[in-house]
């Protein structure tokens, strides 16, 4: 019985040998095309970035112990939870902002007052400069109305003919 089965397999192989060689050639050509495309991809920027990322992961794994990082992250989580509980105990965000504002106000009050004073002085200087410019404009207009243009002014402005 086993002999007959092997015989049938051998006959089927012989009958389909042409198809087998065709498919084998297609497979070999596909492998060559795949290798060529893979070579082009490995030369691309995307592949280089992936290689850099993989190298970075190796460095991270070598430098940072995952268990230590878990402990550090757990500690940071606990600190944030305590801070959140503290903010809730003083009345939420409004209480925290009022507290922070009062602390900031006492720390920076001298600086704030000095800068407000500087701003007032600058505004006064600005107003004085504007007044001076307006007076100069009025004086120029008055001068033009009071004195006709001399020949030298007409020569300069191109009005003398």
C-alpha 74/C-alpha 67 separation (Å) is 11
Domain-by-domain residue ranges, the chain? 1-63
Is residue 134 within 8 A of residue 124, CB to CB? The reply is: no
pLDDT band at 1 (very low <50, low <70, confident <90, very high): very low
How far, in Å, CA of 71 to CA of 67, rounded?
6
Span 115-161, pLDDT tens digits: 888 888 888 888 888 989 988 888 877 766 666 555 555 555 655 55
Beta strands (DSSP E) in 8-70 are: none
Distance CA 2, CA 9 (A): 11
């Amino acid at each position: 019985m086993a002999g007959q089965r092997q015989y049938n397999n051998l006959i089927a192989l012989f009958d389909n040998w042409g198809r087998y060689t065709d498919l084998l050639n297609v497979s070999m050509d596909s492998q060559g095309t795949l290798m060529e495309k893979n070579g082009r991809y490995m030369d691309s920027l995307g592949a280089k970035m992936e290689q850099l990322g993989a190298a970075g992961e190796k460095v991270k794994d070598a430098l940072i112990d995952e268990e230590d990082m878990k402990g550090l992250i757990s500690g940071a989580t606990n600190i944030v939870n305590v801070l959140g509980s503290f903010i809730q105990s003083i009345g939420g965000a409004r209480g925290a902002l009022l507290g922070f504002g009062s602390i900031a106000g006492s720390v920076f009050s001298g600086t704030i007052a000095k800068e407000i004073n500087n701003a007032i002085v600058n505004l006064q200087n600005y107003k004085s400069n504007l007044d001076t410019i307006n007076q100069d404009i009025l004086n120029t207009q008055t001068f033009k109305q009071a004195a006709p243009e001399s020949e030298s002014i007409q020569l300069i402005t191109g009005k003398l003919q």
